[in-house]
Chains A and B, each alone.
Chain A
């Protein structure tokens, strides 16, 4: 979670963050969050993915996921954590996205995923800075 590493820069411009996941919270505590104590922002759980749909986030075509080497890195991390990869339990095709919402509750930055990638943290920080009216 690279945003966390540069979180003081986000705080410096007065930004906050909300991370949204659809995984089982118990699984998250054993994997993603295992080494991330005291996150400075909430991790919200959307098990039914209603907000993923409401924010226009789509499911990828299978080939955009299965032909992406990054996917196998994630699986390796899960296996290292002792997880069994039960395909039926997780929608591997669900995409995410990053948005910056301004103080006026309007979208200041939008980058819905079209494949399994994320924008550079510097780009998100710049968007948050602009939304805050900073330099």
Chain B
């Protein structure tokens, strides 16, 4: 099981389609801090 990344470590890869199928990657908005929130389910 992969451990969750810790502060100071490189962010894992993130590249996924949105609800309309358009692919977005973590580094798309380059130069900005990004809040990444993984939700549990439907709420």
Contacts of A131 in B (CB 8 A): 33
Given the known inter-chain contacts A42-B18, A100-B35, A105-B27, please indicate yes or no for A56 contacting B5, CB distance below 8 A: yes
Q: Are A44 and B18 in contact (CB under 8 A)?
A: yes
Interface residues of A, CB < 8 Å — how many?
Answer: 63
A100 to B24, CA, bound (A): 17
Given the known inter-chain contacts A46-B16, A105-B11, please indicate yes or no for A13 contacting B4, CB distance below 8 A: no
Q: Mark A85-121, 1 if CB is under 8 A from B, else 0.
A: 0000011101111111111011111101100101000
Q: Are B4 and A106 in contact (CB under 8 A)?
A: no
* Size bin of chain B's contact surface: 35 or more
Q: Are B26 and A28 in contact (CB under 8 A)?
A: no
A18 to B11, CA, bound (A): 13
**Does any Cβ of B come within 8 Å of A25's Cβ?**
yes
Q: Are A99 and B18 in contact (CB under 8 A)?
A: no
Q: Are B43 and A99 in contact (CB under 8 A)?
A: no
Closest to A51 in B: B14
B-to-A contact residues, CB < 8 Å: 1-14, 16-19, 22, 24, 26-27, 29-43
A-to-B contact residues, CB < 8 Å: 3, 10, 13-23, 25, 27-29, 31-33, 42-46, 51-58, 74, 77-78, 90-92, 94-103, 105-110, 112-113, 116, 118, 124, 128, 131-132
Other than A18-B36, A113-B40, give 14 A-B pairs with Cβ distance below 8 A. A18-B26, A32-B42, A44-B14, A55-B36, A92-B41, A100-B35, A101-B26, A103-B30, A105-B11, A107-B8, A108-B33, A110-B6, A110-B7, A128-B33
